Chains A and B, each alone.
Chain A
Amino acid sequence: MTDATTTSSQSTSPFGSVIQWLLRNHIWVFLALTIVVFSLASPYFLTVKNMSNILTQGAFIGILAIGMTMVMIDGEIDLSVGAILALACALSIGLQPVIGSWPAVFVGLLSGAALGFVNGTLVALSGMHSFIVTLGALIGIRGLVFVYTGENALMVEDFAYTEIAEVYLGPLSLTAMLFIALALFFQWILSSTRHGRETYAVGDNIEAAHDAGINVKRHKIINFTLCGTLAAVCGILLSMRLGTAEPNAGKVWELWTIIAVVLGGTRLQGGYGSMWMTIGGVFTLAVLRNGLRLLNTPNYVELMVMGAVLILALVLDKALNHRGDH
């Protein structure tokens, strides 16, 4: 409504551009705020060990959130990431005695890519909404995991496998490093490659993208495949860290993932978002969960706080950016 004849007053001073960046990525301000609050509230919060914990815990949801961000900028959603994670986790442990550790990991990865590909193909070709398609996938794949594991947790036999994930660089675990590296890589994809531009174009105005000659179907299939693959990466890291594969692994993680991405500011309807936002959202979520637990908050209160924070973040986002209005 506001676009009568205004061109946005793009401020060019460095100070102005910092402000602009913070307005778009206000989640980082919020993250800083939560860190300050919890540091004051609990002496155990701002310790190297706890920070390291937060980074690692956040990184699992974070890796899922990277793929989810790609899919969500496309204007789609993937509810099956938690289930894909569980399957990849189970395969990478269950297959070890049969084909060895690394081949098992590879098969786990492949399963994620394949399932993502199937999701994407169904969404692109059937015209059904991804919410429905991936909801079906969530149920079906989880069922598959139960069948495969025989409803029991699978244990790793070769304990060297669990040591892979024990690599630390200072307070950064392998998982945390991988998350940050992947997030930066995908941010680069979004901002500097053809695929990235396509992602925004498709999510923003799918007709314009189609009319401009972008192969929308192929594009969506690629992003769902990426999302499935990243979910498998997350599942494999989890299998290394835990040494077991629970059939219930990653349950409701898709919800946490979506919350993290939305909290970051990526728009649910697509066309707008970035990995910077998602990193901010992921760590804000991790800090909140960790901090509330340190304060011995009962579980239900924790859930209520998280819900309230999410809604607050959405309101704030609308107020700051006025982006919901087309």
Chain B
Amino acid sequence: MTDVILEVRDITKTFPGVKALDAVSFDIRPGEVHALVGENGAGKSTLMKTLAGLHQPDGGEILYMGKPITVAGPLEARQEGILLIHQELSLSPELSVAENIYLGAWPTNRFGVLKKRELRQNSAKALKALGCGFGPDVRVGTLSVAMQQMVEIARAEAFRANVVIFDEPTASLTDNEKDQLFQTIRNLKSKGVGIVYISHKMDEIFDITDRITVLRDGQVQGTVDTAGTDLNQITRMMIGRTLDNYFVKAKAEFGEEVLRVEGLSNKGLFRDVSFSVRQGEVLGLYGLVGAGRSEVVETIFGVRKADGGKLWWNGAEIPLPTPRQSIDMGMALVPESRKEQGLVLMMGGRENTSLPHLQLFSSGSIMDKKKELETYRKYQEALAIKTTGPDQAVSQLSGGNQQKFVLAKWLCANPKLIILDEPTRGIDVGSKSAIHELIAELAEKGLAVIVISSEMPEVLGVSHRVLTMSEGAVVAAFEGDGLTEENLIDAVSHQPASVAAE
């Protein structure tokens, strides 16, 4: 055994207008978890796609078990034992679990006829090895996100992978699911599998990884042992400066109440939620993933039907609105899963930013191109969005940079109330503070803002007032001096009284 499974030497990859990878060298040892970090667009996904056969490098070489190889395509990569678990889950919802584990590589005879029994049995074995609670025949579309991820991980067992690459795996997992995922990663590790772990969540990086490699603008800034470094050093390597833990909070000057809900309930999701938010106020909703926060705002917006509750808008009681009515009233909801809700992939950032509110960018029916471009520039600079120009199709941008445009598109609107669900998910540490600044700017313009976040410093940093939710109920509210980490932790770790009473 060599002590390196996979080694990349001086890999270069150029896309039109960008050098995504510039002489990158990198190696993976058996039984280690190797973090790959860097800003949005640094080249992390591109590097991993190159290893998985989805991109062909322009130069450099890949050594696998000490021998140079070319990874011709994703099938070849899997056959070799290199498995990429994608940033966006890569499954076919209509097919069964077994069919998805072997997607594109189903066992067949010479004539292309499926060996169904082998397919089922091997899949069942892989699922069992991972301790999955579902069988090979279930349709993937009926599984939760975490379970779908397990289906992708089951490919590691099925193909006896030596290298498994996780590209931002925890973006939409609950804390429990994350713990399970980490357990699975540790198991793989103990079997001698080499693991690459990409994430923007620094606490996870320090929790699970052994070494950290930092990429910046397609170049390796260095590889360090996790035990011998700290957050400051890593962020300095990533963005060239350290981050001060300084949050810009909007001035606390509140106007009229914009929204009030009382006794809002939705069976099985949350119950008896009451709160209000005023002009110029940033209200934080804190809780663990799965506490029902997203469901609450989706119900207010009208995406979900409420089972009960009252709603006041600008002081007048109105029936719970439909999404269309919500938009017309001046409510904007930026949901946590931004992919669906997202972008016109063939259009550039400029057009995507102005798309939902063309009336802001036109006089009569003539587009004000200059204003549109200025707005694009403002957000592109503020959020450090990496593009080759205002018209580069957003489909070509990195995952995080796409997210940034989704945010830009809603932040530049002029609603009365904006609801941001996990606004910094998938966004690099350097740009988070830019987003916080934009939130403060909105509030100071007189908008009411609701921010949902699972990140405590973020909630504490941007909000004037924080409601904590646990298991579908609001358990506490804090403001002013009460906004402390201890208070929030304390609040969410207690069973809500109304639930316990039932």
Stretch at the interface among B141-149, B424-432, B458-466: B141-149
| Total inter-chain residue pairs, C-beta < 8 Å | 93
Q: Does B175 contact A (CB under 8 A)?
A: no
Report B-chain residues with C-beta under 8 Å of the C-beta of A5.
Answer: 144
Tell me whether A10 and B99 are in contact in the complex, defined as CB-CB below 8 angstroms, given that A192-B113, A205-B92 are known contacts: no
Is the CB–CB distance between B106 and A272 below 8 Å?
no
Determine whether the beta carbon of B104 is less than 8 Å from that of A192.
no
**A5, A192, A197 interface centre (most CB from chain B within 10 Å):** A197
Expressed in whole angstroms, the Cα–Cα distance for A209 and B105 within the complex equals 11
A195 interface residue, CB < 8 Å from B? Answer: yes
Instruction: With both chains docked as a complex, state the minimum distance between the C-beta of B114 and any C-beta of chain A, in angstroms.
Output: 5
Interface residues of B in 76-95 (CB under 8 A from A): 76, 78, 84, 86, 88-95
Chain A's closest residue to B148 (CB) is A3
Check A201 for interface membership: any CB of B closer than 8 A.
yes
The B-contacting residues of A in range 1-46, CB under 8 angstroms, are: 3-8, 10
Whether B113 pairs with A3 at a CB distance below 8 angstroms is no
Least Cβ distance of A227 to chain B in Å?
A: 19
Q: Which of A201, A209, A326 contacts B141 (CB 8 A)?
A: A326
A213 pairs with B95, CB closer than 8 A: no
Asked whether B75 is an interface residue with its Cβ less than 8 Å from the other chain, the reply is yes
Contact surface of A with B, Cβ cutoff 8 Å: 3-8, 10, 192-198, 200-201, 204-205, 207-209, 211-214, 271-272, 326
A75 to chain B, nearest CB (A): 11
Please report the C-alpha to C-alpha distance between residue A283 and residue B416 in the assembled complex, in whole angstroms: 55
Which chain B positions have C-beta within 8 A of A200?
Answer: 92, 94-95
Q: In this assembly, does B396 line the interface, its C-beta being within 8 Å of a C-beta of chain A?
A: no
User: Do A3 and B144 touch across chains, with their CB atoms under 8 A apart?
Assistant: yes
Q: Which residues of A contact B92 (CB under 8 A)?
A: 200-201, 204-205, 208-209, 271
Q: Which residues of A contact B144 (CB under 8 A)?
A: 3-6
Q: Which of A8, A195, A198, A211 contacts B139 (CB 8 A)?
A: A8
Asked if residues A7 and B142 are in contact (CB atoms below 8 Å), the reply is yes
On chain A, the residues within 8 Å of B114 by CB distance are 192-194, 196-197
* Alpha-carbon distance A196/B78, docked complex (angstroms): 21
Among B73, B78, B141: residue with most chain A CB under 10 A: B141
Q: Mark B104-145, 1 if CB is under 8 A from A, else 0.
A: 111010011110100000000000000001100111011110
Give the CA-CA distance A200 to B96 in the complex, in Å. Answer: 11
Nearest CB of B to A130, in Å = 17
How long is the Cα–Cα vector from A193 to B88 in the complex, in angstroms? 28
Residues of chain B contacted by A201 (CB below 8 angstroms)? 92, 95, 99, 103-104
- Nearest chain-B residue to A194 (Cβ)? B112
CB of B443 to closest CB in A, whole Å: 31
Within 8 A of A (CB), among B41-66: 53-54
Q: Is the CB of B104 within 8 A of A214?
A: yes
Q: Closest approach, in angstroms, between the C-beta of B346 and any C-beta of chain A? A: 10
For B53, list chain A residues within 8 Å (CB). Answer: 213
Flag if B142 contacts A3 (CB, 8 Å).
Answer: yes
Most buried by B among A8, A195, A211: A211
- Say yes or no for B38: interface residue by CB 8 A criterion: no
A190: min CB distance to chain B, Å: 11
Interface residues on B, range: 35 or more
Q: A3-B141, A4-B144 are contacts. A197–B95 as well, Cβ < 8 Å?
A: yes
B74 at the interface (CB under 8 A from A): yes
Q: How far is the CA of A209 from the CA of B104 in the complex (A)?
A: 7
On whether the beta carbons of B106 and A213 are closer than 8 Å, the reply is: no
Question: 10 shortest A-B CB distances, which residue pairs?
Answer: A213-B75, A212-B104, A213-B74, A212-B103, A8-B142, A208-B90, A194-B112, A204-B92, A214-B104, A204-B94
With a cutoff of 8 Å between Cβ atoms, the chain B residues found around residue A205 in the complex are 90-93
Within the assembled complex, what's the spacing in Å between the Cα atoms of A205 and B151? 16
B-chain residues with CB within 8 Å of residue A207 when the two chains form the complex: 88, 90
A194 touches B108 (CB 8 A): yes
- CA–CA, A197 to B108, complex, Å? 11
Interface centre among B76, B90, B147, B340, by most chain A C-beta atoms within 10 angstroms, is B90
A95 smallest CB distance to B (angstroms): 33
Q: How far does the alpha carbon of A307 sit from the alpha carbon of B463 in the complex, in Å?
A: 55
A197 touches B94 (CB 8 A): no
Whether B95 and A194, one on each chain, are in contact in the complex, defined by CB atoms closer than 8 angstroms, is: no
Inside 8 A of A271's CB, which chain B residues have their CB? 92-94
Minimum CB–CB distance for B166 against chain A, Å: 15
Whether the pair A211, B94 counts as a contact (CB closer than 8 A) is no
With both chains docked as a complex, state the minimum distance between the C-beta of B54 and any C-beta of chain A, in angstroms.
Answer: 6
Closest A residue to B74 by beta carbon equals A213
Output the least CB separation between A10 and chain B (Å): 7
Contacts of A198 in B (CB 8 A): 104
Shortest CB-to-CB span from A115 to chain B, Å, is: 25
Name the B residues within 8 Å of A8 (CB-CB). 138-139, 142
Q: Which residues of B contact A194 (CB under 8 A)?
A: 106, 108, 112-114
CA distance A10 to B134 in the complex (A): 11
Asked if residues A7 and B141 are in contact (CB atoms below 8 Å), the reply is no
Q: Which of B84, B104, B114, B144 has the most C-beta atoms of chain A within 10 angstroms of its own C-beta?
A: B104
Name the distance in Å between A41's Cβ and chain B's nearest Cβ: 38
5 contacts between A and B (CB under 8 A): A7-B147, A209-B104, A211-B74, A213-B76, A326-B340
Q: How far is the CA of A192 from the CA of B94 in the complex (A)?
A: 16
What is the minimal beta-carbon distance from A4 to any residue of chain B, in angstroms? 6
Nearest-CB distance from B295 to chain A (Å)?
Answer: 10
A40 to B398, CA, bound (A): 63
A277: shortest Cβ distance to chain B, in Å?
A: 14
For the complex, give the distance between the alpha carbons of A272 and B95 in Å. 9
B144 vs chain A, min Cβ distance (A): 5
Expressed in whole angstroms, the Cα–Cα distance for A196 and B92 within the complex equals 14
Are B108 and A213 closer than 8 Å at their CB atoms?
no
- Are A197 and B106 interface neighbours, CB within 8 A? yes
Q: Tell me, in angstroms, the Cα distance from A271 to B138 when the chains sit together.
A: 16
CA distance A22 to B113 in the complex (A): 27
What is the minimal beta-carbon distance from B230 to any residue of chain A, in angstroms? Answer: 36
| Bound: A4/B295 CA distance, A | 11
Least Cβ distance of B109 to chain A in Å?
10
With A and B bound together, what is the CA distance between A194 and B115 in angstroms?
A: 10
Least distance between B194 CB and chain A CB atoms (Å): 21
Cross-interface CB contact of A213 among B89, B105, B137, cutoff 8 Å: B105
> Considering the chains assembled together, what is the distance between the CA atoms of A185 and B297 in angstroms?
50
Q: A5-B144, A192-B116, A209-B92 are in contact. List 15 more A-B contacts (CB 8 A).
A: A3-B143, A7-B133, A7-B142, A8-B139, A10-B137, A193-B112, A194-B108, A195-B112, A198-B104, A204-B94, A205-B90, A205-B93, A209-B103, A209-B104, A212-B74
Closest B residue to A195 using CB positions: B112
Q: How far is the CA of A80 from the CA of B92 in the complex (A)?
A: 29
- A197 with B54: CB separation less than 8 A: no
A192 to B144, CA, bound (A): 27
Please give, as numbers and ranges, the residues of chain B lying within 8 Å of A272 by CB-CB distance: 94
B361-401 CB mask vs A (1 if < 8 Å, else 0) is 00000000000000000000000000000000000000000
Known pairs A193-B108, A194-B114, A213-B75; A208 contacts B103 (CB<8 A): yes
User: Cβ of A208: which chain B residues have Cβ within 8 Å of it?
Assistant: 89-92, 103
Say how far A93's CB is from chain B's closest CB, in angstroms: 35
Query: Which residue, of B78, B93, B133, has the highest number of chain A Cβ atoms within 10 A?
Result: B93
